[in-house]
Structure 1
Amino acid sequence: MLFLVGALLVLGVILGAVAHVPVPVSVAAGLAIALWLALFAARERLSGHRAGRPDHRQGGL
């Protein structure tokens, strides 16, 4: 519950900051974040990591 309150507080601060900057700056920041997340997802998919799952190819349990 405390994590949820903290996350909402951070979200409110970020949205408050976005409300005071010009629209093109907000769009550019949003695109930069989207690109960063897409690159991260692609890297994770290509690396073959499976979070929380044992790797059966290496004899894991």
Structure 2
Amino acid sequence: MLFLVAALLLLGVALGSVAHAPLPVTLVAAAVIGIWLVVFAVRERTARRRHQN
């Protein structure tokens, strides 16, 4: 439960800072986070496939 509260608090802080950031900065940050998530997902998928075989 504490983890959920901390995650929601961090989400609120992130959304608050995005509201005050210029649009290009927000878009660049969103693109970087999106690329990072895609790379993470691909690495996890390849690691699971290697581990199962």
**Percentage identity across aligned positions?**
54
Counterpart position of 2:7: 7
- Please show how residues 1-61 of structure 1 align to structure 2 within 5 Å: 1-47=1-47, 48=49
Number of equivalences: 52
Could you state the TM-score of these two structures normalised by the residue count of structure 2?
A: 0.81
Q: Relative contact order: is structure 1 or structure 2 higher (C-alpha 8 Å, sep ≥ 6)?
A: 2
Could you state the TM-score of these two structures normalised by the residue count of structure 1?
A: 0.72
State the alpha-carbon separation in 1 of the partners of residues 34 and 18 from structure 2.
Answer: 16
Cα displacement (A) at 1:33: 0.4
State the alpha-carbon separation in 1 of the partners of residues 22 and 44 from structure 2.
Answer: 33
Unaligned runs of 5+ in 2: none
The residue matched to 1:17 in structure 2 has which SS? Answer: helix
* Cα displacement string for residues 12-54 of structure 1 (whole angstroms, at most 9, x for unaligned residues): 011111111101110110010000110111111112266xxxx
Unaligned runs of 5+ in 1: none
Q: RMSD across aligned C-alpha pairs, in angstroms? A: 1.7
